[in-house]
Structures are given as structure tokens and as C-alpha cells.
Structure 1
């Protein structure tokens, strides 16, 4: 089949087919050595249509390649990958929905409280939390910091000569974020706190920097701010959804379809950050990723530094999170997974369980 005939059969444009050929997603069956014309086999139509469908649901090119590969060898794993992608899309859509409702209220002059939390009121749900931060087997010092409380969850991964001071300054800055009534106001306050954190890192730890992944619990929602390569996950009904994207040079190449996730995991530049808190923003600081996520009883949140996520596959993280242990036992089990793989970096993690409304806020593990 000529490229034109194949484009009509697969419902992909010739331009898209050329792009997918360049990326190795959909190479032609034959290329004429003299004219450069591309020719495709009829057996490639099914794969091409799968690519088209996956792109229509907004799946990044690198993930499309993984699903296509799994489709031929492990259809169940391919289906799980599609469900995980769509769960991320729904989480992001929910966050935008809440922001849109808050903006509509603000423009319309409504005093409706979108978070269902008023000063002095009883929280609809509470968190049972635990935090753990360990040096690992290779690093001489621990420059990570973690915090787990009834309102604030946070992990920071410091680097440089005084990275521990940078991480501590970042956590102190986000610890003062107020729980406000409007979703938009809360996220604005969280963004302001991240910018203050950047300035305070510059003042307290010149020449150093830190990542930061922090969540503020309102009683019904978790507002997340994220800078760097820490991660946040949600375990709900046995499924694990990653809520953050790494701000690294390697992740940018994965998003562009230049690397696969498996190639990125072993890439020598995987720790090269594109965003971090280092005080170099002259008061403005890096722009954090902000999102808002509804919580319900039975949910479990995980925030961690890359000392855990870079060495332990997500399938193993999910297994430990879903095992049913309390937050304190779970953070210890997660740290043990990293240690079993040589503990190449500091490792920090925070686990928070959403409890029914009649359970008071609680913390089952220490802050570090």
C-alpha cells in the first residue's frame, strides 16, 4: 500500500505517518531506495489504528509505543497502561474543574466555600500519616527532609554543599500555608509559599538547592505543589496513579517521544533537573506544578523523593501500599525496598491515609 492508501485505511495523515516512522512507532514495510516512497503492509493497519486511538485520548508518544509493544505480547498489561493514563487525565480534569468553579464563584461574587471547610469547623475527613527519611547505604549524609502531619505532607531532596539546609528551609516555608475556603485561593497561597521557599533557600543555603513536593490537606481535598523530581501517588481501589511529572531533562525527552520510559530509567542524565528551588529566581522562583485532588475514605497518598522512585518499580510500590499495613509500617517497608537495591541515595517517603469523618486527625510516625 502506498502511504496515501495506508493513510486512508488507518485514518492517519501522511504527515503523521512520516513522524511516527521517524520515532520508530510505525515504520513502513518498505522504502523505495531510489524515490524514498514509503510502502506499508495491510497487516500494519491494526497497529496504525491503535496508535490513532491512543493519540486521540491524549496519550504521550512514548507511552503509545509502550502500549503498542504490550498489545502484541501482554494485552492485559496494555489495558492497564491505558487505564492508568486515563486515571491521570481524570485527576487533572478534576483539578481544573475545581479551579473553574472557584473562578466562577469569584467572578460571580458568590461566597460559596468550594472546599467544604470553614474556620473552626469539623473536618469532613482526617489523615493518619507517617514520614521516614534515611541516609541510604552510599551517601555520607542525609540531605532529604520529610514531614507528615494532619494538614501538611512534604518531601524535599536537597543537593549541594548544604543541601540539608535547603531542604529544611523549603519545608519551613510551605508549613505556614493557610487552609482557605476557595480552591483557587488555596492554590495561590501554595504557589506563593513555594516562591517564598525559593527565596529562603537562597538566603539559608547559598550554592545549594532542593526539590519540593508538598500537599496541603483541607479535609476533603489535597492541594499539591511540585518542583523537581520528587513524586506524589494516589492509591485508590487498589490502583496506583502517579500525580506528578518529573522536572528533568530526561522526562522532557520522554514527553517528546525521544526516549522510552525504560531508556530514561537508565539514562546517565536522569537526575539533571530543569526546575528546583535554589534562590536563583531573583524573588520570582520556579513555577511549581499545582493541582487539586479530591480525597475519600480509603484513599492512600504517597509522597517520596527519587531515592525511592528511581530504584523501586511502581508495581512494587503499589504492592506495598496496598498490603494494608498502617502508615508507619508502610513507610518502613518502602524504605526497605530501596535499601534492598543498594540504597544508592537518600530516601524519604510520606504515607497518608484518608480516614472517615468521625476519626480525628492523627499522625502515626515522626517528622524527619
Structure 2
């Protein structure tokens, strides 16, 4: 397998594979003596996926090396090593939680943190969602796509000559996740399946729109949790108890400079290169690795997924005000895009608004325009 083929099969980027080769964690099966190109064996996929998941839970490289060595000889010992690592993580988290509670007490702001942070009994809930996409005042065509269904929420922002086809192909490939395991399935299985769907979407974009690409921010609802996949500069937010929390990080050159301390957020918002993407779905060899996360939901929560045509022109404070105004998902989606339009509508803008409701409040009027979320052209 070429490094690109192996990257897609293992869900590791080519850059990560080269790094793990240098560290001796995942050496290739063969290296071409003349070109230096790396080739992998299909039997290495399992180890590569193990490395990926160990890194996702924050295990240090030394620990990853030990677990990988034990996995083939003593799986029980490998499992105990993972359990011990996670016990340390939980202990450290508990310690920080106590320090945070103490700090809130000192500041006079501890209003039930212990109750808020206690793990609750997980029960299935219903999701009511609406999606809307609009062209804006400047663009001639709408290359955005948005979808709101009973389980799948997604926004895509296409670019290039066939950006509309790229965004459409990405959402079409993701439609399979509507049939992912029902509530109660293992989190790892769900995230793996969602990641596989994103890789299929990447390939679908390459086939449908060569030379073009798209961003993608998508969530799959399990009844109690939202599994989130993110590539590009779309965004996902959670409104809970009046507070708006951003769940995604922009994959842009400007955001990388913010992370490196070279720019502050205010400078980044007005930077001329703020739309320069570092990750997108474009069908290129090796694929684009999505950020994956899992978020617990509870009645009263409201999710927002949007393209940068909304988030780049409307400040978070105004997004929060609109989301917290009390209107239903459809009216809220229209209000959000009206805010972008009021600032000149410089780009296509799309959003999905989804409310978590008690299970007995379920409704079936998903999305707008028959659930496609396409909205007005």
C-alpha cells in the first residue's frame, strides 16, 4: 500500500505516519531505496488504528510504544496499561475540577458547579432541527449546502469552479451515517464510522468536482450524544443555559498563527488571509483528517452548525443573542442569516439549528424545503 492508501485505511495523515516512522512506532514495510517513498502492508492497519486511538485519548508517545509492544504478546497487559492511563487522566481531571470549584467559590461564582459537572444517567432524547442556506448579496451562485435530518446535521462550503458540486457530493456521501448504530452503540465505533464517512465524502468530492473542494462540519445524533466531524472553517457551537461554547477549531493559516501566538483573535478576524484553508475535502491523495469529538446532549441544549459566511461576519455575542431569543429552529435559522445579510451578505451563508427535546416531544418536521435544508437560492 502507498502511504496515501495506508493513510486512508488507518485514519492517520501522511504527516503523522512519517512522524511515527521517525519515532519507531510505525515503520513502513518497505522504503524505496531510490525515491525514499514509504510502502505499508495491510497487516499494519490494525496497529496504526491502535496508535491513532491511543493518541486521541492523550496517551504520551512512550506509553503508546509500550501498549503497542504488549498488544501482540499480552493483550491483557495492554488493556491494563490503557486503564491505568485513563485512571490518571480522571484523577488529574478530578483534581482540576476541585481547583476550579475552589476558584469559583473564591470569586463568588460557584452556583452549582458540582451538580453541573456530575455525570448523569443518559436517556435518549429527541432532536428538532432546521437548515437554511442563502446566496448572500455579493456571490452570483450558492456553493454552500446544509442538511438537517432526524440524525444527521451538516453544513458544507464549496469552493472552486465546481464548489457547488463538491459540497453536494460531500453531503451525499454522508447520508449513509443516518443508518449508523442506534443509541447505545460504542463511542469508538460511532466515531470510526463517522470518520469513514468523511473519507468517502473526500473521495466523492474528488470524483464529482476535480480541482474544487469543500469544507464540512457534520454531526450525528445518537439520542443522547452528538458525534461531530469537522474539516475546514465551518463552525459548531453549543448553547447551554444561556452560554455559547464553540466546539470546533478553524483549519486556517490565520488560526494557526493565532495558536502560535503570532496574531491575536481580533487581528485574525480582519486578516486578509483569514479564509486560507489548511484542511478541506478535495480528493487529494492521503485525504484530509477530520477533527472528531463526542458531546453529551440534554434537553434545553441548542446546537448551531454554520459556514463562515455567517460566523465570519456576525460576532459570537450576536449569535448567542439570536440563539437564545426563544424562537424555534426554523425562525432562528432565518434570524441568523438575516444578521449576515444585514452586514452586506458578502458570502454564501448556511446554518443548521437543532434543539434537544425530551423524547416524548419528538416531531417529524425536519429542516426546511422538505428537510433538504437548501433554503432560498
TM-score range, shorter chain: 0.5 to 0.7
Q: Which residue of 2 aligns with 1:184?
A: 188
Q: CA deviation at 1:360?
A: 2.1
User: Quick one: which of 294, 297, 300 aligns to 1:298?
Assistant: 300
User: Quick one: which of 262, 266, 276 aligns to 1:262?
Assistant: 266
Alpha-carbon distance in 1 for matches of 2:172, 2:212: 16
Q: Which residue of 2 aligns with 1:230?
A: 234
The C-alpha deviation readout for 1:87-116, integer Å capped at 9, x for no partner, is 9xxxxx99xx9xxxxxxxxxxxxxxxxx97
Alpha-carbon distance in 1 for matches of 2:287, 2:326: 39
The C-alpha deviation readout for 1:44-79, integer Å capped at 9, x for no partner, is xxxxxxxxxxxxx8xxxxxxxxxxxxxxxxxxxxx9
Give the count of matched residue pairs. Answer: 256
Q: CA deviation at 1:285?
A: 1.1
The C-alpha deviation readout for 1:191-224, integer Å capped at 9, x for no partner, is 0011111111000001100000000000000000
Look up the SS of the partner of 1:287 in the other structure.
coil
Q: Are 2:282 and 1:278 equivalent residues in the alignment?
A: yes
The C-alpha deviation readout for 1:100-149, integer Å capped at 9, x for no partner, is xxxxxxxxxxxxxxx97xxxxxx821111110000000001000000001
Alpha-carbon distance in 1 for matches of 2:318, 2:173: 33
CA contact (8 A) 1:150 1:361 kept: no
Q: Which runs of 5+ in 2 are unaligned?
A: 1-95, 97-106
Q: Are 2:217 and 1:213 equivalent residues in the alignment?
A: yes
Alpha-carbon distance in 2 for matches of 1:215, 1:174: 10
Q: CA deviation at 1:300?
A: 0.2
CA contact (8 A) 2:147 2:367 kept: no
Q: Are 2:350 and 1:344 equivalent residues in the alignment?
A: no
CA RMSD of aligned residues (A): 2.5
Q: Which residue of 2 aligns with 1:168?
A: 168
Q: CA deviation at 1:229?
A: 0.1
Q: CA deviation at 1:361?
A: 4.4
Segments of 4+ in structure 1 off by > 6 A? none
Alpha-carbon distance in 1 for matches of 2:367, 2:152: 14
Alpha-carbon distance in 2 for matches of 1:130, 1:365: 6
- Equivalent residue runs for 1:1-368 within 5 Å: 124-177=124-177, 178-180=179-181, 181-280=185-284, 282=285, 284-362=286-364, 363-366=366-369, 367-368=373-374
Q: Which runs of 5+ in 1 are unaligned?
A: 1-56, 58-78, 88-92, 98-114, 117-122
TM-score, scaled to structure 1: 0.66
